[in-house]
Structure 1
Amino acid sequence: MTQRFLRWSSGVLVALFAIAWLAWWGLRPPPVAAVNASLAPLVRTLQFSARVATSSRVDVGSTLTGRVREVLVGEGAPVEQGDVLVRLDGDELRSALAQAEAGEQQAHARLNGLRSTGRLTVQASVAQAESVLSAARADLQRTQGLVGQGFLSQSRLDEARRAVGVAQAQLDAARAQRAANADTGTDVAQAQAQLAVASAARQSAQARLKESAITAPAKGRVLARAVEPGQIVQPGRALLTLALKGPLQLVAQVDERYLEQLAPGQPASVLADAYPTQAFRAQVLSIAPVVDAQRGAIEVKFSLQAPVPDFLREDMTVSIEVETARRERALVVPVGALRGDAGAEPAVWVARDGRVEARPVRLGLRTLAWVEVIDGLSEGEEVLVGAAPGPGARVRAVAGASAATAQVPAREDAGAAMTNAMGR
């Protein structure tokens, strides 16, 4: 009887203990993941793809329509300023130049003739006209005397007067011709104008012949060749593409959403896809003033910092990580700790004395995973992360890693994505 009672009482005690344990477990506050707000360095970066480019690239073409006689350079060839790259057939142009030169010589000879033998001839004509006028006046004077004495008729006097008039007119014409042959005269001016026209035609023919030899505008390298001997070329078509001598740049198309984060002078780390272990440095050089409306992107250029790698080539693809902001010592919490709807005042939930407390905060620098808290939170406070009961509820915070020791999210591939780096 005694043993049976002992067994029964032991079973009751075990059942009561189990019931009490289950009741305690059921009334226990639910566990909620938490992270300790702590001070740590915070870096915000942007990553995207870019291409290598020279500061100046030009397309070289012809200003004439013609047949290509020879192409003197190939892709990759270095060129100096003035080097002949392509030569067109110039036989017709040389004939036009010879004709223009002959026309200029003819105009020049006419002008010289007016200034030398022409002036002598005109001066002789003036002298002759003056002599004829003088003789006609003397004859008129004699005739007037004889008519007065009755030896000659009135008709003879009229003839003498007409002779004086004709001689005067001839002298006036000779003098006008002499004036026209002077340096300021109309004939000389006309001859000078004709010479100027002929000289311009000769210069134009020379220029066209010179343009049949297409030359390099500056020192550089041939990037592309789109012309072959025998081909008919026309103005406006690119025959060769040159990268002019100058410093290399990196050119990227960045999503316009990240425009506010970029500024000239920001440092960047660069990796070429073909040489993933040889990183080098760059910095933001300029940001385009307009956005590409088709792609919603903005062009950003980077200058390279010495030493510039030798393996860089025109149009090579590289990956760039730009440091857009840095805090050497910031109070940070995970982005997942933020509460509230979009547009509402940001807040976090803090575990305080075993209960959830809503805490409004003022935020600063933000990355994909972490956010800086400027005001409203103190170092060491337990901030709830993820799903949790509302403010006032009892909770049991399960402390996780602090921001200073949290694992940094993996680096994303190039593609204009905002990333973060902790403790770098």
Structure 2
Amino acid sequence: MRYLLLVLTAFFLGSCKGSQEEILPIKSSLTESVYASATVQPDSLYRVYAAVSGILERNLVEEGDIVQLGTPLLQIINIAPKLNTENAKLSLQLAEENYNGSAALLKDLEEQIQAATLNLKNDSINFFRQRRLWAQQIGSKAELDNRRLAYELSQNNRNILESRYARSKKELHTHVQQARNNYESARINTKDFTVSSKINGKVYALFKEPGEIVSTMEPLAAVGSASVFVIELLVDEVDIVKLSLGQEALISLDAYPLEIFTATVKKIYPRKDERSQTFKIEAVFDAPPKTLYPGLAGEGNIIIAEKENILTIPKAYLIDGNTVNTPNGRVEVSVGLQNLDRVEILEGINENTALIKPEE
């Protein structure tokens, strides 16, 4: 009985050894790629925000509508800016009347300057006449001094009025400009209550209903290109250094399970998303599907290298990244390109080297 057990054990071990899978390396083409999750989005997609707060009076468009640059999208109501605009308009009118009106301060100063000029002219005539008389020894020194003093006072008075006029004119002009700026600012704030499209495109979403409160921090709508779509690819940080603009990507979409689409990498965003530890890549279809919608999901493989007629083995036969099993024991190899199934062998074995699959 013991002998029979030993024989069966030896037969079983021999059978296991004989059943070890052996293959030979083969020459084939190999493509190495970087995997990425894919999401289709309209080109130039952006979220619409209001520049002011208020209450949404009405949506002027519907989801799916085609819009042009400047097309009104939403109307917001708020009484305060309208009142501010009216007050600013009244202030501007008052400032302009003070600057140009018949009862303006400048008009009064002009009349005072005219009177001071006449008075100066009169005092000037009296002074120079008295000085000529005094040169002829006619009149008194005190009378001459009085005439000189009156003449000098008249000069100073007119100079003061002219200086006041220039200063007042500048101040009033400044007030007019400030009032006009305030009025224009108020008008602009009123215009901001009608939110318009910044691009030619399509309305993909409306986030608010009439009657809801609108703030400057919440998006009101989403607008993007109506015909041009991009593919957003999320790539792991360990692979981002392998990518460059212009590389080809193979895209599979859940909505088109039997098709593979080619695309080209057009943009690499330099900032890593700390939450997902990924980088965002944008690619465009070489020949897009007939129908696309925002948010269509799928997978992408960005091709980083391709080689023809190279020595390859199944990846399952590689041990610790650089060793293979042969009938003569383990052999160290140098590897090159890799994909999910196969790996390129640069050195260590040849096409005639038998390989044994490692035990799992």
TM-score range, shorter chain: 0.7 to 0.9
Contact 2:123 2:150 in 1 (8 A): no
- 1:123–1:178 CA contact under 8 A, matched in 2: no
How many corresponding residue pairs?
346
Give the direction of change, closer, same or farther, for the CA distance of 1:280–1:158 in structure 2 (3 Å limit). same
Q: Show the counterpart of 2:351.
A: 379
- Alignment deviations for residues 351-401 of structure 1 (CA, whole Å, 9 cap, x no partner): 4xxxx25433222222333222112222233222235xxxxxxxxxxxxxx
1:368 and 2:340 correspond: yes
Matched with 2:62 is 74
SS of 2:340 mapped into structure 1: coil
Shift of residue 180, structure 1, vs aligned partner: 4.2
Q: Does 1:321 align with 2:297?
A: no
* TM-fit CA distance, 1:137: 7.3
Match of 1:172 among 156, 173, 179: 156
The answer on 1:252 being equivalent to 2:252 is no
Gaps of 5+ in 2: 1-7
Aligned pairs (5 A) from 1:266-345? 266-306=247-287, 308-339=288-319, 342=320
- Residues 172/218 of structure 1: CA separation in 2 closer, same or farther (3 Å cut): same
Matches within 5 A, 1:20-419: 30-31=17-18, 32-89=20-77, 92-112=80-100, 118-119=109-110, 121-132=112-123, 134-135=125-126, 165-166=149-150, 168-181=152-165, 185-244=166-225, 247-306=228-287, 308-339=288-319, 342=320, 346-351=322-327, 356-387=328-359
Q: 1:175 to 1:323 in 2, by over 3 A?
A: closer
Deviation at 1:51, TM superposition (A): 0.7
What is the distance in 2 between the residues matched to 1:167 and 1:49?
94
Q: Give the match's secondary structure for 1:288.
A: strand
Work out the percentage of aligned pairs sharing the same amino acid: 22
Which of these two proteins has the greater Rg computed from alpha carbons?
1
User: d(CA) in 1 for partners of 2:186 and 2:13?
Assistant: 104
For structure 1, the residue ranges without an aligned partner over 5 or more in a row are 1-21, 149-156, 388-424
CA distance in structure 1 between the aligned counterparts of 2:14 and 2:191, rounded to whole angstroms? 96
- Give the aligned residue type for 2:118: A
Contact 2:106 2:168 in 1 (8 A): no
CA–CA separation in structure 2 for the residues paired with 1:27 and 1:198 = 101
| Aligned mates of 1:383, 1:366 — CA distance in 2 | 18
SS at match of 1:363: strand
Shift of 1:170: 3.6
CA distance in 1, matches of 2:114, 2:12: 137
CA distance in 2, matches of 1:77, 1:260: 41
Q: Partners of 1:335 and 1:279 in 2: how far apart? A: 24
Q: Secondary structure at the match of 2:284?
A: strand
Rounded to whole Å, the distance in 1 between the matches of 2:81 and 2:336 is: 71
- The equivalent of 2:4 in structure 1 is none
Cα distance change, pair 246–116 in 1 and its aligned pair in 2 (3 A):
farther
Task: Tell me which amino acid in the other structure corresponds to 1:178.
Answer: E
Amino acid in structure 1 at the alignment position of 2:240: L
**What SS does structure 2 have at the residue aligned with 1:192?**
helix
Structure 1 residue 319: Cα displacement: 2.5
Could you tell me how far apart the structure 2 residues matched to 1:363 and 1:292 are? 32
Q: Kindly tell me: are residues 257 and 95 of structure 1, through their superposed partners in 2, closer, same or farther at Cα, counting changes over 3 Å?
A: closer
Cα separation, 1, equivalents of 2:317 and 2:56: 70
Q: Distance in 1 between matches of 2:155 and 2:145?
A: 15
Assess, with a 3 A threshold, how the Cα gap between structure 1 residues 256 and 141 changes in structure 2: closer, same or farther: closer
Q: Provide the C-alpha distance between the structure 1 equivalents of 2:70 and 2:280, rounded to a whole number of angstroms.
A: 32
Quote the Cα distance in structure 1 between the aligned partners of 2:13 and 2:80. Answer: 105
Quote how far apart the aligned CAs of 1:202 are: 1.5
Q: Taking structure 2 as the reference length, what is the TM-score of the superposition? A: 0.80
Task: Give CA deviations for 1:74-103 in whole Å, capped at 9, x if unaligned.
Answer: 222222111111222365434433332332
